[in-house]
Amino acid sequence: MVGNFIADTVKGKALEDYDIAIQKGIVLHRFIDSYTDSHDITLQSRERLYNYFGKYAGVVQDVFYDHFLALNWSSYHQDELKAYTRFIYDTLGDYQSVFNERASRTFHYMQLQDWLGNYANKEGVDRALTGLSRRASFPSNMEESLPALAEQGSAISADFEAFFPDLIFATEERLKELLS
């Protein structure tokens, strides 16, 4: 879990600076990103969003998928979303000593603003994408995500429901390889 969380802040071989369990989490996160970015269904979702967000369509698609996961959480996990997010925040909090500066900053705001729980509501999606738009290198239109969610939400929700079982299976298979 810790490696998965910090993975985007750990570049290249810097993963070797971490213990093996965290390295495996980083490797798993990189696998999930690669698998997701190249899957036919996610490419279809990205295409649905391209006219709204251009090259940032993939970023928006990721956040929209997080939204649909949070909305349908009980279909994928036995714990309530609120209890699970508390578990995530508590567990990550126990490992803050291994976070780099960027991961520490991200964790602080993630927990403070309950990013994981707030993906379940449109305001949380809007807040996340507005924040991402401020950090974008080019105009992104991500701060205008709610009209796209209203117009494309049903189709992207269906995409997510078709994609997520594939991701679960592929992730479980990769995790078995990492743990063997």
Tell me the residue range of the domain where 82 lies: 2-179
- Exposed, middle or buried by CB within 10 Å (0-12, 13-18, 19+), for 1? middle
Which is nearest to 32 in space by CA: 177, 137, 170? Answer: 170
- Exposed, middle or buried by CB within 10 Å (0-12, 13-18, 19+), for 101? exposed
What string of DSSP letters covers 94-122?
A: HTGGG--HHHHHHHHHHHHTTHHHHTTSH
Mean pLDDT of the 35-51 span: 97
Residues 96, 12, 22, CA angle at the centre, nearest 5°?
A: 35
Torsion-angle region of residue 54: left (phi > 0), alpha (psi -120 to 50) or beta?
Answer: left
Confidence class for position 18, pLDDT limits 50, 70, 90: very high
- Exposed, middle or buried by CB within 10 Å (0-12, 13-18, 19+), for 13? exposed
- CB-CB contact of 4 with 26 (8 Å): yes
Confidence class for position 40, pLDDT limits 50, 70, 90: very high
Q: What is the pTM of this model?
A: 0.93
Confidence class for position 2, pLDDT limits 50, 70, 90: very high
- How many domains, the chain? 1
Mean pLDDT of the 67-76 span: 96
